[in-house]
Structure formats: C-alpha cells, structure tokens
Chain A
Amino acid sequence: MLNSFFTLLIVFAFCVQSTAQTCNLNISGRLTDETTSEPIVYGNVFIKELKLGSVSDTAGNFKIQGVCPGNYHLVISHIGCETIEYFLNLRNDTVMGISLDHNHHHLHEVSITAKLKERSIQESQTIGKQDLEENGDKNLSTLLDQMSGVSSIKNGSGIAKPVVHGLYGNRLAIINNGVAQSGQQWGVDHSPEIDPLSANEITVIKGVGAAEYQGNSLGSVILVEPSRIEREPHLHGSGSYFFESNGLGNGMHFSLQQYENVGLEIGWKVDATVKKSGDNRSPNYYLRNTGNEEANVALQFEKSIRKNWIMDAYLSSFNAKLGVFRGAHIGNLTDLDEAFNRSEPFFTQDKFSYEIEAPRQQVNHHLMKLHSMYFITPNQKLEFTYAVQLNQRKEFDVRRGGRSDIPALSLDQVSNFGEVKYLSDFGENWEFKTGVQVNHTDNTNVPETNILPLIPNYVAIEYGAFGILAKSWDKTTVEIGGRYDLENRNVATISNSVPRSIIKYSNSYSNFSAMSGVSQQLVKNWKLLGNIGFANRNPEVNELYSNGLHQGVSGIELGEVTLKPEQSLKGTLSLKGKVKNKLFFEALGYYQVIEDYIFLNPSNEVRLTIRGAFPVFKYEQTNASIYGLDFSTVYQITSHLETKIQYSYLKGDDNSQGIPLIFMPANNLYGALTYDVKNWNLGRGKLENIELQVNNRFVFEQTHILPSQDFIQPPKAYNLIGAKVSAERQAGKFRFNFYLRAENILNTVYRDYLNRQRYFADDLGVNIIAGINAKF
C-alpha cells in the first residue's frame, strides 16, 4: 500500500540474462488488469524511439524482439485504459509484468470498481487524466456532475459549485492537493478556485464523514490530486487546445516535466492554463456578460533526499474573471416579478461579445504547499505538510456614479495549515493512520467598497486529530476512524444600526466525529460496502452574523448568533459487481439525518426599505433528512459496443416542519451508447482507440417542493442529447489525442432547478467542442 506512490501502473522488470550487447535483446511480458488480474488481450506495447511494437495475445503476453541496448519510452495502450508511458533503460533481455487500470475507462462514467488504495473504504468515483483532458472546457463542478449522485449549483454557466448527495459549499470538503480548499465557500454563487487541467485525477468520495481531512464536511469529500512527477530523466510534456462554439471559447494547457535521477534526484513540473470565452448563447438569444477569463499556473518540485525521504513543493496560482448575466442583476422583488413574466429576459441581445463588465467576479487563489514524506521502515511513514493559501475575491455590481469599477465585495482570506501524519502497515494486513492538524484562517474585508460588508472580519484557529484503523482479511476489510476538532473564532463586525459601531464576538466549538465501514467480497467480482458515520459542522459566519439585504436573492437575510453546530448521521450501502465480464453494475443507497440543519427560513415578515419591500429570511435550525440512490450499469453488447445507464434519485425533507428541503438536486437519468474501434489504418499511419458515443440526459422536474418555498415553480423536466468522437495517434515522438464533443445537439430550450439563472433566462443551447492534446 505504501508504494501506491506510483499509481496506475505497477511495473516490475527483472533481468533474465546479462550477456547480450548487440541488437538482439528482447522485451517481453504480460499485460494484466490491475483489479481482476485477468490478462489483457490485444493490448499495445510500443517503443516510441524505434516505432516498434507488439500486441498482446489471448494470454496477455507480448514480445518485442531484436532491440539494441539503450534508453526507451514504452507506450502501453489498450482500449478502455488510459494510455501510459514507461521509461526503460534496456541493458538485458527484460521481462515485464504490466498491470493496467482497465476499469479506468468505466470509472469516469460508472465507477465499477472501488479504488481502495490508500483511501478509506468509503464509496468513491474518479475522473482520470484522459477525461480531464477531453473536457478541458469544463470547470471542476461541471466535470463532476456527470457522475451519479453529483450535481452542480450554478449561477449562469461559468460559476458552478459541486453538490454531492444534496450537500454543497460548507457541507462538502474540497481537498486540493491534500489541503482543504480555503475561500468563500458560503455563497451559492462562488465556485471553487481550482484548475482541473493541472490535476491528474479528481475523486469524489460519497462518504459518511472525513476522518482524515480537516475542513467542513458532513459526509462527502472531493479530492483533487495533481500528477506526480514521473521518474523520467528526459524532458516530457504535453500541450492541449480546445475551442467551444457556444461562447466562442478558446483554451490552452501546457505542461513540462523532468526528473533528474542521476546525482541530484530532483524533479520538476510546470502546468499552465489559459482560457477565454465570451457571451454564452441560449437557443434563442445571447446572454449578455456571461464570458470568462482564466489564467492559472502550477509549479511542482520533488527531491529525493535519501531513498526513504522525499520532499516536494507545490505552488499554484488561479486567476479568474467571471461575468454574471446582466439580466440576473435586479434591484428588488418588483424587478424579479417582472423578470419572471417576460418571454425574453432583459439584457439579451442578438450579437456576441467577449466583453465582461459589472456584475462580475474577480477571483485569485494562490497556494503554496511544502510536503515531506519519510519512510521509517518500508511499512511505516511519516508525512509533514505545511500550506499557505491566499484567496482574494472581488465582486463588482452595477453601481451609480461611476462606481462599477469599485468592488461591492472585497475579501482577502489567508490560511495557514500544518499537518503531521503517521501511517503504518503492521501484523497481518493491519493498517493504522493517525495525524494532527492545525489551520489558521484570517478573513478580512478590504476597505475599498464603501458598502457595509456582508461577511464580518474574523480569525479562526482549528486544531484537529484523527486516527483510522483498518484490517483486511481474505474477503473482508473493516475500517474504523475518529477525529476531534476544536475551533476558536474571533469575529469583528459592523453594527447595522446608526451610528455604526464595531461589535465583537467569540465562539468556540469542539466536536467529535466517528465513522466505520465494512467491505465484503460476496461471490467472485461482487462486493458489498457498508459505511456509517457521525460528523459535525460548525455554523459559518454568514449564518451567524448576516444582517441585511442580499440583493442577489432579493431578500433580507438575518443571521442568528445562537446557532449550534449541525450533527449528521449518515449511512451508505452499496453493491457492485460484474456478470461474465459483460454486465457491470453499482448501486449505492444512502440515508442521512442532520440534526440542527441550518437553513434560510422565509418568515412572514416583509421589510420596507427605500428599494421596495423585501421578504425576510432567517437562519434557523431544523431536523433534516436526505436520502437517495445512485445507480449505474454498463453492458458490453459486443466487444466493440457498450451501453451505459446511470440514475440518481434524491429526496430531502425538513422533518420538524414536515416540508421538503429547498435546493435539492432533481432526479436524473443518463444513458450512453459507445462504439469503439481499436485501429483504423489511414494511408500514412493509423488512428488508435477510436471511440464514438451518443448520450442522453433526462432531468426530472423537482416536484418535491411546495409552491410557497420559492418565488416560482421549479422548471419542467428536460432532455439533452450529446455525442462524442475521440481517437489517438502516434506520430514520431508525439502521441496525439483528438476529440469532438457536442452538447445539447437539438438546441433544446430548458432551465435547470439548481441554476440560479433559471429565474431570468434559458440555459445554454447547442455547444460543439473540438480539442487536441499532444504528449511527448
């Protein structure tokens, strides 16, 4: 488990003879499936430098003969697997055992196998590098909402935050590179400041609690993990470009890396992304001011100090300018009512523009992480992490008197995080992990807005400690974990009455959480997973101290200083398996009760202001329950044709009041039919791993809500049709990957319940995305 450092590919190579010096060396071996250990048939092994290759036979064996000694890059590819490269210093006849993560292909879409690895046995789904690359136009949230049980809360198209099992924002921890993402997570219109293109894989743990991670979580966790620097002495890199028709978006990503494994033992990697798009178009009109601009860079260093001691550093900078649909910026309830009653919203137009003006957001997020891993013995390691994050958020409104260039909200948040972790494998398949964490957050309003701030200034210091113990038997794994958190917060806010004065508050919370799970292999390839966890979430500053008009939602929001932490008990049960290598399925059921669930309750009070009358919403607590089912299945119709079906069902209830919970994702059903061709010979060279797909997503109407709970009825059900073509090609040292994707092909007019823009305008029309990735 400790060496899962080298993920995806487990290669062991050993010498057979040590005599040959001429060009008669053989590279042979066997390709197997990492999870099932079954042979991989018709897998491709290719020596880049020599343009020489071999295809594995029915037993998974391959052989490349007559190779000179030297340094080579092997490209190992197989349909349904992520293509990987392996560096080989060939001196002798070499036999290799290569296990490919064959289910990776299914994982992004279905997640048939649980990727246990170093992770807990909670339910998880992963999006791999190839999918990240083929969806370069998407943001973190819209990438993940293809999974069952995951959706996006959006504000237009560029601002989106992920929702897992009905929870989001402060109830869902996002761990970027091992560090809890710190920023303004309280608003529904704040998207996480993460560039998915610099990640290697993104995992959603649909869990019951996060023993290992600090940061608020009432169950689920999103893990964003950058790729490790490959232990390759040569300069390697990749470049990609995409174009999208809706919004005339363009994006580029580059990465370069090298590992000096003689002498210095140092590796580096650099990632850079730029994106720009303009006004999006719904089927009948352009949505003014919906463009985005983004420029990100990430630097990674890794150094082996000794064989058992590795140090690494990660620096990243995320910078985005996000337009907010002009027609969604309203003054009061009369404006909102008027917006509802218009067939075509205000501020739509016939012409396209790249211009981004107020209302807009400007977000910068910088992260520096220093990390060190020390192996005390091969079975015990210590990890040290220190990370600093600087999050700057400026939001610009349409303002009078030339003030639209002065932010209406300007917040700086600095977080310092330190962690020590110890991991040990001992006895007969026992694993123990423990750690302590401390996090300091300093949130400050930059006094440039000339507006009363929505969020107070505060300093929070959190101490945490956790322990996880796991034991595996032949067919069973049991895990138990717990954590303790102590948070002290000092707050300074400005009074709402005149003359204005400064009011100070202090609060302190201490919480225990605990979770445990069992994984049980039933028959061959069938597995049952059960988890149960108890977790807490402290009330956030906005829930405690908001006091005033939240113009974006046309309501006056009143915080409640006496709010208690939320307490959650969640259980999940899943069954996954496959039948005759043809039918893969996974079903996950979950039930969560949250005591003292904090929500904005519309009161009967209407408050008169000079802007008009506004309804008053108060932060209150209730007992809530959320339950649902995620189901996915893949059926291999022929060896080239597969079909996939995915269904998410969710229901949320306010049990104290006997009414539904608002803002819960609607149920949805997704289906895809994929046809793949291994090779297609063109005149010069060939295309490999060609994939053709048509897909269909049906989103039901959210009917589990009362008319009195929203300004207007939730939108009707809708159906979107999409298609995708992708292929790979080796050309000299370069390996190319091409893709063409179409979304909402029929230009269907629809609105989505979780998109706040639904009050004002239709969602996006047809979008065609074309992209190319090249690796060397």
Chain B
Amino acid sequence: MRLLLLSFVIVFVSCKKDDPLTPTLPIIPNEEEVITTLNYTLTAPNGDVVLFSFKDVDGDGGNAPVVVNGALDTNLTYSGKIELLNETVSPAEDITEEVKEEGDEHQIFYQFSNPDLGTTYTDADANGKPIGVSTQLITKGTSSSTLTITLRHTPDKNASDVASGDISNAGGETDIEVTFAVDVK
C-alpha cells in the first residue's frame, strides 16, 4: 500500500518544474490546417484569366480580410479552378491537394444570386461524386450579382440534389464560406 502511495507521489512530483511562478511558455503552433486564402480563377476560352480572391492571413481575428472581385464577359464558357492556401507558413502550403485527396469528404458549392448563372462540376471523387475544385461557368446576359463559395467538410453527397450542386441537403460543416461580387458585362 505504501509503495502505491509512493508511486503516486512520484508521478505527481515528476510533473513539476523549476520555477513555480512562471508559466510554461506556449509553443507557437504550426497551424498547418488553417486556410487563409481562397483563389477562384476563371479562364475564358481565349486564355483571359479573371481572379476572385479572399485572403485573411492572420486568421479569425486581427485584420480584416482582403477580397478581390472580378468582372466576366457575357456569353462565354469559363473553366473554373479553386486554389486553397495556408499562407501563415512560408512557403505557403497548398491545401487544395489535401481536399482533393479526401475528395469523398469534401464538396465545394457555388451559389449565385442571379439564377441565370450557374456552375457545373468537372471533377469527381473516388465514388464518382463531384468535389468542386474544377468547374465550368457559362455566362448569360448582363448583371451585377453575388457568388457565395462554400466548402463543406463531411457533407452527405448522396442526399437529394447534392451531387448537382444544391447545398440545402448537404449537411456537414462549413470550412469556408466567402462571398464575391460578380459583374457580367
């Protein structure tokens, strides 16, 4: 019994450190999981590139994010590409690869306030369901509207209409939700 007692004492004592009044200095974590930047590039058939970008380098608090909006030409088919970066580390880490590797657990949704605009998925995960990193956008008419891009983690891709891009039944949790102004001229 005494031995047991003693061993408890040793366990507790071994947790103590030298200066009892100074806290252990925190170790600045390598925030490898953070996404600071979303770049959405739309490439026109003639090679012209339009960039939509949302960048928040210091994370959830601190300074306001920097948002870049773009203008599109009407009656064109753009091919879209998403790039996700973690710019808290140098060089910046490409998170897009991680999302693609876990494609069955992720899906990117595109919601336009103008119903004339819409994207179609041009990529697929291991189960043949879309991920949404690569897309196609067809522009019509002229308008000023908004586009909300959402990355969902663990959505239910089998739920009704989710595979065709309807977010309402997707569930899961939101890793990214950013809104851009879109002008079609």
What is A's interface to B at a CB cutoff of 8 Å? 268, 299, 301, 313, 315, 329-332, 334-335, 338, 346-347, 366, 368, 388, 390, 398-403, 412, 414, 440, 442-445, 447, 449-453, 456-459, 461, 488, 490-494, 496-498, 500-502, 547-549, 556, 558, 607-612, 614
> Is A457's CB under 8 angstroms from B23's CB?
yes
How distant is A103 from chain B, measured CB to nearest CB, in Å? 38
5 interchain pairs, CB-CB under 8 A = A331-B173, A452-B59, A500-B28, A610-B178, A611-B175
In the complex, chain A residues whose CB is within 8 Å of the CB of B9: 368
Cβ–Cβ < 8 Å partners of A330 in chain B: 173-174
Output the least CB separation between B22 and chain A (Å): 6
User: In the bound complex, what is the Cα–Cα distance between A609 and B21 (angstroms)?
Assistant: 37
B31 close to A491 (CB less than 8 A): no
Query: Interface size of B by Cβ–Cβ distance < 8 Å?
Result: 59
Q: How many A-B residue pairs have CB under 8 A?
A: 167
Query: Could you say which residues of chain A place their CB within 8 Å of the CB of B5?
Result: 301, 313, 315
Q: Which of A401, A496, A612 contacts B98 (CB 8 A)?
A: A401
Return the CB mask of B18-47 against A: 1 if under 8 Å, else 0.
001111111111111101111000000000
- Asked, given contacts A331-B174, A496-B58, A611-B176, whether A388 binds B63 with beta carbons under 8 Å apart, the answer is no
Whether B62 sits at the interface, judged by CB under 8 Å, is yes
Measured between alpha carbons, how far is A368 from B168 in the docked complex, in Å? 53
Contact A440 B59 (CB under 8 A): no
Inter-chain contact B23/A610, CB cutoff 8 Å: no
Task: For the A-B complex with A338-B168, A346-B172, A549-B60 known, give 5 more contacts whose Cβ atoms are closer than 8 Å.
Answer: A366-B12, A400-B102, A440-B20, A447-B26, A457-B23
Residues A452 and B31 in contact, CB atoms below 8 Å apart: yes
Known A-B contacts A414-B15, A443-B23, A502-B26; the reply to A556 vs B175 at CB < 8 A is no
Asked whether, in the complex, the Cβ of B24 is within 8 Å of the Cβ of A457, the reply is yes
Checking A315, A346, A390, A614 against B171 with a beta-carbon cut-off of 8 angstroms, the contacting residue is: A346
Q: Do A498 and B62 touch (CB < 8 A)?
A: yes
Chain B residues with CB below 8 A from A451, complex form: 29, 31, 33
Q: Are B64 and A608 touching (Cβ within 8 A)? A: yes
Whether the Cβ atoms of B173 and A398 lie closer than 8 Å is yes
Cα–Cα, bound, A390→B64 (Å): 40
Find the residue from A329, A401, A549 having the highest chain B CB count within 10 A. Answer: A401
Question: Is B33 a contact partner of A556 (Cβ separation < 8 A)?
Answer: no
Other-chain residue from A301, A331, A399, A547 in contact with B61 (beta carbon distance below 8 A): A547
A330, B16: Cα distance in complex, Å: 38
* B23: A residues at CB distance < 8 A: 442-444, 456-459, 490-492
Q: Is B4 an interface residue (CB 8 A)?
A: yes
Interface residues of B in 54-69 (CB under 8 A from A): 54, 56-65
Residue contact B177 to A612, C-beta cutoff 8 Å:
yes
**B61 partner residues in chain A, CB cutoff 8 A:** 496, 547-549, 556, 558, 607
Most buried by B among A402, A501, A608: A608
Contacts of A313 in B (CB 8 A): 5
List the A residue with the shortest CB-CB distance to B25. A492
Interface membership of B146, Cβ < 8 A: no
A412 to B16 alpha-carbon distance, docked (Å): 12
Which chain A residue shows the least CB distance to B65? Answer: A608
In the complex, A442→B22 CA distance in Å? 9
Closest CB in chain A relative to B158 CB, distance in Å? 13
Name the A residues within 8 Å of B56 (CB-CB): 608-610
Question: What is the bound-complex CA distance between A313 and B24, given in angstroms?
Answer: 30
CA distance in complex: A453, B35 (Å): 17
Residues of chain B within 8 A of A268, CB atoms compared: 1
Quick check: B31 and A461 within 8 Å, CB to CB? no
Partner of B26, one of A368, A456, A549: A456
Distance to closest chain A CB from B86 (angstroms):
11
Cβ-based interface call for B153 (8 A): yes
CA–CA, A401 to B103, complex, Å?
Answer: 11
From the candidates B20, B26, B62, B177, name the one contacting A332 in the complex (CB within 8 A).
B177
Is B154 located at the chain interface by the 8 A CB criterion? yes
Complex Cα–Cα for A457 and B21 (A): 12
Q: Are B31 and A334 in contact (CB under 8 A)?
A: no
Q: Are A610 and B36 in contact (CB under 8 A)?
A: yes
Q: A398-B154, A611-B177 are in contact. Are A497 and B26 (CB under 8 A)?
A: no
